[in-house]
Amino acid sequence: MENFGDSTYNQAMSQRGLKEAFVSNLNGTSLQEVALGSFLSPVCLINRGLILILYHQAKGTLPLPFPLISHLLLDFSVLILPLVVSCTVLSSILLQVIMSLTFISTCVFCYINRTNSHPSTRHSKTTISTFLQSHVQFNQVPFVTIFRVFVNVKTAISILAVDFSVFPRRYAKTETYGTGVMDFGVGAYVFANALVCPEARRKTISGSRMNHITKQLLSVWPLVALGIGRLVSVKMADYHEHVTEYGVHWNFFFTLAIVRVVASMLLAVLPASQSWVISLLIGGLYQFTLETSGLKEFIIHNNDRGKNFLHANKEGIFSVVGYVAIYMAGVQVGLYVMQPRSQVKEWLRALLNLLFGSFVLYAVLYICQALVEPVSRRLSNLPFCLWSVAQSLFFISCLGIADMVLLFSKRTSGCQCVPSSWNFHKKQSDSVSDKKTDEIERFCLVQAVSRNQLLFFLLANVMTGLTNSVVDTLSCSSSFSVCVLLLYMFTNCFVIYVLHLCGITVKFW
């Protein structure tokens, strides 16, 4: 009996070692391939909207029949499924996948514009000019919500997919230097949180600054609790860990909590309108410290993790500095995006400015990589901060332009109740149209995830652990791996969707 127990233990330890080795010592992919992936979600978003417009033109009505399940299946098939297959079995032909979907979108878009029944939209120059002058209204911050949702969704897919052999190793987190898709994911997650923080939304500080800081300290307790819960569960279950990612005891929940508190303390004494200056100073001074002291060598080469807490968790502790720089840049972008705008042309100009900012930061990144050092998520160095912000701006610009295409399609087709960031301003309220729009939004998966984003992230983490405990991810075939990933994502989406339909918002504070 003892031999059987020892054999089982050794087998478990061997399996854990294999899984740890599977996600270790990786070098990532090119900046261009990560940027290329930014086009997939916007194209999927356009396709979802065009499908609904086609149905509306054919039947003259929305929502779809049996809306409780049909809209979930449509959103999952058009928005989630392409993301899963493009980072697994179709990863080698990502460009062809994007081009094919874009071609389909273009054909449907042209068909809708040619078959529209509005005489005023027959002359393209007049149509575009009128469209740009149009006034729009919105309930949530345009395209920021979609950006945050897709960052969450892609993160949920990646944290399980990385354990399967069908997931390309170049997409996984890099060991020391390099740019993996999952490396961008952590930077984008911090950036996404900063976009909607109270400072970015121009919320005034009530009471003294000390009370404000205390309030922020108390507000992050759910993240601290989640971090402790993850730490305890991982150690008790003897779950495989990539130690050089954050350290022995550290995890991303702790990073999110500390970044939020540190940023709040900085913004309590410094003007939020100068967040970009603070971001550059933090990133620049941290890089200077890495280059002129022994900090870089300590983080990368010193493997004496048993000495004390600092040695055991050096990556997690010191990378916080870089993430604070990314967060401060996100606050600046949030302030810019949330400026009051009412016309389409004003929003289009804002999108083009964000795209231009991305190109400028990419140019600075190339110079920085050539003169200083490559991108390193492990160090969270200046090139990593520049890349995270540049790629986030590029992704958010692509999503915004996709939303603008949808808005134009809504104008030319006369179907105003398709989910998008904007709706055209109405001089007189149409209760029937407003009711239909609200109904469509109610059945929208993007809105469901947006409503409970932290819960979705937590659920994905729990489901990842459960899946790993049931499935031998390393030995699965490609087709079985994709099926598991799709079932996992459908379960996550279904739970969040049901909560949304029931009007339940799960908040921990």
Whether 425 has a pLDDT exceeding 90, the answer reads no
pLDDT on residue 122: 52
* 177 backbone φψ class: left, alpha, beta (φ>0; ψ -120 to 50): beta
Q: Are 122 and 115 in contact (CB under 8 A)?
A: no
Percent of the chain topping pLDDT 90? 64
- Residue 234 maps to a domain: yes
Residue 211, both tokens: 């009370």
What pTM was estimated for this model as a whole?
A: 0.93
pLDDT on residue 179: 96
pLDDT on residue 432: 60
pLDDT on residue 3: 54
Task: Give the helix/strand (H/E) hosting 161.
Answer: helix 144-161
- Residue 194 maps to a domain: yes
Whether 503 has a pLDDT exceeding 70, the answer reads yes
- Residue 136 maps to a domain: no
Whether 487 has a pLDDT exceeding 90, the answer reads yes
What 3-state DSSP class applies to 288? helix
Which residues, listed in sequence order, are joined to residue 423 by a DSSP beta bridge?
Answer: 137
Whether 118 has a pLDDT exceeding 60, the answer reads no
pLDDT on residue 6: 52
Total tally of structural domains belonging to the chain: 1
- Residue 448 maps to a domain: yes
DSSP per residue over 432-460, as a string? HHHHHHHHHHHT-HHHHHHHTHHHHHHHH
- Residue 191 maps to a domain: yes
- Residue 51 maps to a domain: yes
Q: Which domain holds residue 175?
A: 2-118+141-501
Quote the mean pLDDT of the chain: 89
Q: Are 160 and 298 in contact (CB under 8 A)?
A: no
- Residue 135 maps to a domain: no
Q: Are 496 and 449 in contact (CB under 8 A)?
A: yes
> Which of the pair, 11 or 36, is modelled with greater confidence?
36
- Residue 128 maps to a domain: no
d(C-alpha 107, C-alpha 289), whole Å: 53
pLDDT on residue 509: 52
Q: How confident is the model at residue 430 (pLDDT cuts 50, 70, 90)?
A: low
Q: Are 298 and 314 in contact (CB under 8 A)?
A: yes
Q: How confident is the model at residue 4 (pLDDT cuts 50, 70, 90)?
A: very low
- Which whole number is the average pLDDT over 101-121? 80
Whether 259 has a pLDDT exceeding 50, the answer reads yes
What 3-state DSSP class applies to 424? strand
Q: How confident is the model at residue 291 (pLDDT cuts 50, 70, 90)?
A: very high
Residue 372 buriedness (CB in 10 A; 0-12 / 13-18 / 19+): middle
317-375 tens-digit pLDDT:
999 999 999 999 999 999 999 998 989 999 999 999 999 999 999 999 999 999 999 99
